[in-house]
Structure 1
Amino acid sequence: MAPLAETDDHVLAAELAAAAGEVLLGIRARVGHADGRALKDAGDQGSHEFLMAELAARRPDDAVLSEEGKDDPVRLESERVWIVDPLDGTREFSEEGRTDWAVHVALWERGRLAAGAVALPAQGRTLHTSSGPPAVVTSGDGRRPLEVPAPEPGRLRIAVSRTRPPQFVQKMAEILDAEVELVPIGSAGAKIAAVLLGDVDAYVHAGGQYEWDNAAPAAVALAAGAHASRIDGAPLTYNGKDPLLPDILVCHPLSAPMVLAGIRDVAHDLPG
């Protein structure tokens, strides 16, 4: 590991996400799956404490916004804020054999996402931004550039919630000028990773998320050349006073006009 002062933010995000993933795999093995609530709680707390300690040691002047921590208003005056989800997909983490859960580590700096990493610990890989190729995926097989694959003409696979597929996405699928398949996947990070890895073509969500749910995946998606926006096409913005960021669209830029038009056509079915 490079000396702390020499570790750039992209490397640090990837290191911390992957290392927190190792912590979570250890907790999963130690606690077991007999008591799902106990496993969820241990995972959330253990990963949060690890990330907070590492950021305090390695970036002591930066602010942190974590799903599991107190929202310190000092972040609103800070030029650098780490936005982390120590365990994205606690339900999947608590279910034996599931791999669609993640760790998110993102850096917001002076109004933009500057770095991000999404570790998929049970899959053995981490997707992250880089100072070389803009986005890469690192695994036991090494490291390769990450570019969002173009969709197959006339076909669109959309990642949706395993337990709460949004009705508006189902209705949108019926009117799009494409053969649409809805693909259930667990955490938001796993869904966006699936877009970037070519397992699905789009992720559409409306109905409640917070900045930590999508900051790191959005950072990687944008670096990989994907379209990432609110579902009305507006830019994603972070480090807001209210961390609620309820909706997101991630897809290949070629698919964005069609999906955004479909969302507009069923806007009356959107939550809230």
Structure 2
Amino acid sequence: MSAVDDHTLAAALATEAGDLLLVIRDQGGAIGDQQSNQLLLRRLAQTRPDDAVLSEEHTDDRARLGHDRVWIVDPLDGTREYGEPSRDDWAVHVALAVDGRPAVGAVALPAADLVLHTGAPPALPARPPGPNRLAVSRTRPPACVDHLVGRLGAALVPMGSAGAKAMAVLRGQVDVYAHSGGQYEWDSCAPVAVAAAAGLHVSRLDGSPLRYNEPDPYLPDLLVCRPELAGAVLDALRDL
């Protein structure tokens, strides 16, 4: 795979890790995280040995700050959902940040048999009539959600992982995914890359750009939404 382009590589790695996670799902999330992480690190060392890597499941090597190209991966996004065999709202994230920008990304939704990636971003489906639909965490709704519900008259759609929620916007299942209160670069880099490639609005909640490969990988807030709703959502968030 060392000869393929970065978009194809990201998609292939997310697919391979997702396939592995399906096979070992009955062993639980801790084993899934560990084995998926080992696979991704091994493949990246083989195929992109000169690039740095930042992974949720690996000690942060600060040498990455001296690299223009940094792969940012979440080997298993949505451990809780992964542990519930009937659920498909968990993901694998594989992204490449170039000069701090999310340039390449793939989000695998293995239990839904789907990989969305920047090499071939899908077209955004038409929005159906009705209230705006807002993706929200099943267990930890962020502070911004109640605010947006009141301002936008939005209907809540609970679901699992950050990647699943961001890709739900791209798949036409929801219209807005807004998060506040704590995430890290690996939670959003791949979903943001894919969403942006497909023409969605992506930013911090204040509208500022999302930057990656920062000294502190904590990146607490995120907005992914349909482009025609971005102005109204950002206006609503300014009152937060």
Could you say what secondary structure the match of 1:254 adopts?
A: helix
Aligned partners of 2:171 and 2:144: how far apart in 1? 25
Write the letter of the residue equivalent to 2:133: R
Answering whether residue 147 of structure 2 is matched by residue 188 of structure 1, we say no
Q: Alpha-carbon deviation of 1:70?
A: 0.7
Q: Which residue of 2 aligns with 1:228?
A: 202
The structure number with the bigger radius of gyration is 1
Q: Per the alignment, do residues 172 and 110 of structure 1 end up closer, same or farther by CA in structure 2, a change over 3 Å counting?
A: closer
> CA offsets per residue over residues 34-64 of structure 1, 9 Å max, x none?
xxxxx11101101000000000111111100
Write the letter of the residue equivalent to 2:86: G
Q: Alpha-carbon deviation of 1:147?
A: 2.4
Aligned partners of 1:83 and 1:182: how far apart in 2? 29
TM-score (norm 2): 0.96
Contact residue 150 and residue 252 of structure 1 kept, 8 A: no
Write the letter of the residue equivalent to 1:192: A
The CA RMSD over aligned residues, in Å, is 1.3
Q: Which residue of 1 aligns with 2:3?
A: 6
Write the letter of the residue equivalent to 2:19: E
Answering whether residue 44 of structure 2 is matched by residue 55 of structure 1, we say yes
Q: Per the alignment, do residues 55 and 5 of structure 1 end up closer, same or farther by CA in structure 2, a change over 3 Å counting?
A: closer
- Count, aligned residues: 240
**Which sections of structure 1, spanning at least 5 residues, go unmatched?**
32-38, 136-145, 268-272
Contact residue 118 and residue 216 of structure 1 kept, 8 A: yes
Q: Which residue of 2 aligns with 1:206?
A: 180
Contact residue 13 and residue 116 of structure 1 kept, 8 A: yes
Q: Alpha-carbon deviation of 1:164?
A: 1.4
Deviates more, 1:150-159 or 1:58-67: 150-159
Aligned partners of 1:129 and 1:175: how far apart in 2? 32
Q: Which residue of 1 aligns with 2:124?
A: 148
> CA offsets per residue over residues 125-175 of structure 1, 9 Å max, x none?
100011xx5x1xxxxxxxxxx123354466210000000122431232112
Aligned partners of 2:69 and 2:143: how far apart in 1? 37
4+ residue segments displaced more than 3 Å: 149-154
Please list, as runs of the form range in 1=range in 2, the aligned pairs for 1:1-272 lying within 5 A after superposition: 4-29=1-26, 31=27, 39-130=28-119, 133=120, 135=121, 146-152=122-128, 155-176=131-152, 179-265=153-239, 267=240
Could you say what secondary structure the match of 1:99 adopts?
A: coil
Write the letter of the residue equivalent to 1:23: L
**Which sections of structure 2, spanning at least 5 residues, go unmatched?**
none
